[in-house]
Structure 1
Amino acid sequence: MSEQELHRLWRDQPAAAESFDPQELRRKADDWHRVVSKRNRREYVAGAIAALAFLWFAVSAHDAWTRIGCITAIAGLVIALYQLHRRAAAAEPDPAEFGTPVALHYRAELCRQRDALRSVWLWYIAPLLPGPAIMLLGPYMSGRSAGGGLNDLIGFLIFAVIMALILWLNSYAASRIQRRIDQLDRSLMENSK
């Protein structure tokens, strides 16, 4: 057996199920709630800073396409942040829950976050695309090139790389959450025997 085959077997082996301790599960659920809440706060702050930057660019812009693109980008940010709140806000665990209900709440929250991350292209990336597209293509559509082909191409490539990175990071995070769900499911199955 080759070293690569051994590595693949080791990597693909099922993880051992954790023991099912309701208090430990409660701690994990609470920790998860804090992690998600902190992530969302960072997103809200970053979105507010980006919206202020676009507002400043809109006010100081010399052409209508840049103004329209900036206002559209602000609208896209508002939509993305609203969807973040709607789809991925951390749900408070019920203090009265203990044991299996905590496990079910924790699992439901993991699934909700995984699903939100898997669909981030639709509710987070898509609303952000029209603003930069208008700023980039608008001058060409009106027969005026804003900053020259190379500058526009570099700006577009930077934006595309950032969007691709966001998609990849969210896909990676969703796969990690799926592993947590699988591990929790194994633990629940072991403890139900």
Structure 2
Amino acid sequence: MSDQIARDSWKAADNSAPLPSLDELRARADGFRRVIRRRNLVEYAAGILVIVMFAMGALTAPLLALRMGSALVAGGACVVMWQLYRRGRPLSPPEHGGRMSVLEFQRRELARQRDALDSIFTWYLLPLIPGMAVIMAAPLLSLPPDAWRMPPADALFVMAAVVGVFVAVYLLNKWGARRLQRQIDEIDALMAE
């Protein structure tokens, strides 16, 4: 019975916060779009650098496997940049509309960005994995199979570092998706009032 009293008391209490002003909502949406644009510019610059460096490696590497792996990484980076544009570019908010339409737009944009971060493995990491795997295996692939042996410690360290970077990127993006989901939940609470 005491649980029911607590629930009724909580429902009866006026815990609702008023909707922020239209100017404040637009300022938040504009700030979010600026953050997304800045993130994308950094990603595009890094992508161009990766494409140029690995394309040069595809032309100049001494081993065929290194050239093939470098070409795969450069191609994978092109796929990543296209997917970033498709999934991650900020949309323009509606020019006219009240607080609810700005809230609805911001919720859709947050959900879009959350979904992009949440699916980071398939569109961001996966296109790079084949090329990186070929590059890491290149020293073995250049030897006859009967000469294969355990890679030296420094090569294992580099492989572990590459895997570590991929895992860190995955985890950071999952964390970012959860943060965006909390913002979506806040907007849902505001819109429900």
TM-score computed with the length of structure 2 as normaliser: 0.83
Determine which structure has greater relative contact order: mean sequence separation of CA pairs < 8 Å that are 6+ residues apart, divided by chain length. Answer: 1
The reply on whether 1:161 has 2:160 as its aligned counterpart is: no
Tell me if the contact between 2:63 and 2:138 (Cα under 8 Å) persists in the aligned partners.
no
The letter for the 2-side match of 1:83 is: Q
Distance 1:107 1:148 in 2: 50
Work out which of the residue numbers 147, 150, 153 in structure 1 matches 2:153: 150
Asked if the contact 1:26/1:98 (under 8 Å) is kept, the reply is no
Counterparts of residues 8-27 of structure 1 (less than 5 Å): 17=17, 19-27=19-27
By how many angstroms is 1:136 displaced?
Answer: 1.5
Shift of 1:98: 3.1
Q: Deviations over 1:96-146 (max 9, x none)?
A: 23321111110000000001100000100100101110111244244256x
Q: Secondary structure in 2 aligned to 1:50? A: helix
Deviations 1:6-57 (A, max 9, x none): xxxxxxxxx9756332221111111111111111111000111111121232
Alignment check: 8 A CA contact 1:17 1:186 kept: no
Between the aligned partners of 2:17 and 2:57, the Cα distance in structure 1 is 53
Percent sequence identity is 32
Aligned to 1:40: 40
| Alignment partners' CA distance in 2, 1:68 and 1:17 | 58
> CA RMSD of the aligned region, Å?
2.0
Q: In the aligned structure 2, how far is the partner of 1:25 from the partner of 1:159?
A: 41
| Higher Cα radius of gyration | 2
For structure 2, list consecutive stretches of 5 or more residues without a partner in the other structure: 1-14
Number of matched pairs? 175
Counterpart selection for 1:175 from 169, 173, 178:
178
Q: Which runs of 5+ in 1 are unaligned?
A: 1-14
